[in-house]
Chains A and B, each alone.
Chain A
């Protein structure tokens, strides 16, 4: 499902195997080099930027972007201009509602997980139905959904403080470390392996990519395009619901805007990871690298004292540059 593959295979005859290898993983290598470049740049400008502690902290912070980017990647891969702007809000909603349920006790965790899954899946089902069957544009549907959820959150939290605490297990998973390694890293690695297997080794993954690559062909081959796209949204919603649990585990308490700021970075991570917004492809490993890159960039800009403004400016410029680079790559075909 890789746009680059096309170019590579054509040139196999002329090139040696090493350059073919490099070609095949060009985008991965680019993402890696960008991250290393940022760390070195940071070390030169700001002292004490490149250290084991810093790197691990960056990875920890970028895990949440990467998890949200998973939702994004699946919806984007299904094609049809898919995007899910509601993920951050869904996560906030589940965090706030499950905080009360868990009340700081492990025995309530199972119920909280079920509630989080149910809320997430319901939001996803609504999104998916409106996109697939009512044929509304995903951008508008999920934006409206985000507004609705924000409204619900505002009503729920109006005039009272949000009570409840995460289960200790969640705090261990999301906030603490084993040795030097943050535990959330293991969660992310586990997710990455599961996702890669599902996308590349199962029927469903193949269907998802097929629907994204060429809807007409997939349809005529007997695949139910609408259902596949709807399921993509349901999965996105359900995963977002679970991320809500990790968010509250990390923060120790739930608050109103805890998830919404992740929406834009999650889309940016997919782009930086070189996954086409046109659909039909998806490489979660590269998306994780994209998330790390964005977090490193944020850290650097914060270290430089440019704060929030610098962060958004930086994101925007990086997005433009990479989109132009990848699109011109495709134009060459």
Chain B
């Protein structure tokens, strides 16, 4: 046993990210961490390496109780971590990045020759043919991830933590990585591996620890208990309440409002096609960062390079400019409201009238009397808690800010409302108000809504149909009674595909 973590707890503000984290790593073994979004698996990795400080609990490494203040301390002690978001320096070459922070001195200069040799050796195993004299900014994301991994390995750690290292890699690269990982394991290096691709965990790991809601709920030693995907899934989802299907199938008229064919945008969106019917609430689910935000932004016209055939009410439109989307009343409530949806230092009034500027046939002078009346109405309808409509939006609470973002679009005749995780960082009261308003709007005006929510419950409660995204593609479509936590999570983890591969 090289590492033992006991009863670690971590809160961010009032949110508990990890309530009781326990973890054991054995010498020369690869331990997989599995769990849905926000289950605490990334948090515990970061606590081990000193990125975060635990609120309580203890970490035993090599029989000693340790508490690192930063990743560098951990690295000196033989624990290296491969980060999800890259920590490379773009203007340095591959080998310079690999030895960065651990340069060997030779006389008064640096020992560049041996540094290059070490880099060459590691890179050759991970990705033969990558020129180590290339600058990092010339590499593609997959190659950068490989350099990141090589950097961690070059420190010759005794414990290597890989936090979703495969997300940016291609199949062949993953294979090389796994071979190398196995080789290192045989040399006695222990590893912690997280990935959202279940089959990868099944393939490479010796044992897995499953996290749910900030606790580890199970650990399975593959050598003893065998690899059983269904069992793992049931641990990940928990004893999912098989809630009876209480949703009465609403009559949805059947005519398509928006139809998208062959939407492609770089690596983020691949060949996406779907139809949205009038009065339908279409959910977008899946693990975090599978392209859901990009999909909604693309529909709002934010990407000039995006390719797709789009029709609204049978009329062809181009979704390559936000103004086209706005004029066709495809309206976005973006995921990052402070950055993408509001002018924080400006008043509620200015925020609500701003989108009108994009419309055609607007008077030269702003009819402020009329607009102020409209704004007062919006504040009333959404029950936005604000002193006056001249109060800066930045001083409102998160929930009320979100209501203002929705309020911006209320004076439009909404065709399609795009909601990107609207309940994120919103208190329960405001969340309920907001969804109630949207549900009423769908009922009364037959508005169509596309809702991306990171929380399964919101999808289950409000959606008529849920599309599951995985690595930029739509992999599944759930309807009616199939919309439940179990189905959503297993579709999100691409279990069906696991079966095919395995």
| B-binding residues in A (CB < 8 A) | 1-3, 5-6, 9-10, 12, 201-203, 206-207, 209-210, 213-214, 216-224, 280, 333
The answer to the question of B366 belonging to the interface, with a C-beta cut-off of 8 Å to chain A, is yes
Most buried by B among A10, A201, A222, A333: A222
Mask of B320-347 contacts with A, CB within 8 angstroms, 1/0: 0111011100001010000111111111
Known: A6-B395, A10-B395, A202-B365. A210 touches B345 (CB 8 A): no
Name B339's contact: one of A5, A9, A214 (CB within 8 Å). A214
User: Which residues of chain B (353-369) have a CB below 8 Å from chain A?
Assistant: 353-355, 357-359, 362-366, 368
Assembly CA distance A317 to B365 (angstroms): 41
Known: A222-B326, A222-B355. A217 touches B345 (CB 8 A): no
Stretch in B102-110, B219-227, B384-392 with 4+ CB within 8 Å of A: B384-392
Q: In the complex, are the beta carbons of A201 and B326 less than 8 A apart?
A: no
Other A-B contacts than A203-B366, A220-B300, 4 sampled, CB-CB below 8 A, are: A2-B345, A5-B345, A9-B387, A222-B322
In Å, the complex CA distance between A1 and B346 comes to 6
Q: CB-CB < 8 A to B391: which residues of A? A: 9
Report how far A333 CA is from B392 CA in the complex, Å.
Answer: 12
Beyond A6-B392, A9-B395, whether A223 also contacts B342 by CB under 8 A is no
Residue numbers of B with Cβ under 8 A of A are 297, 300, 302, 321-323, 325-327, 332, 334, 339-347, 350, 353-355, 357-359, 362-366, 368, 387, 390-392, 394-395, 408
What are 7 residue pairs bridging A and B, where the CB atoms are less than 8 Å apart in the complex? Answer: A3-B345, A5-B347, A6-B392, A9-B395, A203-B366, A220-B302, A222-B357
B408 to chain A, nearest CB (A): 7
* B324 nearest CB neighbor, chain A only: A222
A219 touches B322 (CB 8 A): yes
Q: Are B357 and A223 in contact (CB under 8 A)?
A: yes
Q: Is A223 touching B346 in the complex (CB atoms < 8 A)?
A: no
Residues from chain B with Cβ under 8 Å of A12 in the complex: 387
**Contact A216 B340, CB 8 Å, known A1-B345, A6-B395, A202-B364:** yes
The CA of A333 and the CA of B350, in the complex, are separated in Å by 20
Given contacts A9-B390, A214-B342, contact A221 B365 (CB under 8 A): no
Give the CA-CA distance A16 to B81 in the complex, in Å. 56
Give complex CA distance A9, B346 in Å. 11
> How far apart sit A56 and B368, CA to CA, in the bound complex (Å)?
37
Residues in B neighbouring A210, C-beta threshold 8 A: 343, 354, 357
Could you say which of A5, A206, A333 contacts B366, with CB atoms under 8 Å apart? A206
Smallest Cβ distance from A311 to chain B, in angstroms?
34
Knowing A9-B387, A203-B362, say if A213 contacts B340 (CB, 8 Å).
no
User: Whole-angstrom distance between the alpha carbons of A201 and B408 in the complex?
Assistant: 19
Tell me whether A221 and B326 are in contact in the complex, defined as CB-CB below 8 angstroms, given that A206-B357, A213-B346 are known contacts.
Answer: yes
Which residues of A are found within 8 Å of B326, using beta-carbon distances?
221-222
Q: How many angstroms between the C-alpha atoms of A167 and B345 in the bound complex?
A: 47
Point out which of A6, A218, A220, A223 has the most chain B C-beta atoms below 10 A from its C-beta. A220
- Pair A221/B364 contact, Cβ less than 8 Å: no
List the A side residues contacting B345 at CB < 8 Å. Answer: 1-3, 5-6, 213, 280
With contact pairs A6-B394, A9-B387, A206-B366 given, residues A221 and B357 touching in the complex (Cβ less than 8 Å): yes
Given the contacts A210-B354, A214-B339, A220 and B346 also touching, CB distance less than 8 Å: no
Q: Is the CB of B354 within 8 A of A5?
A: no
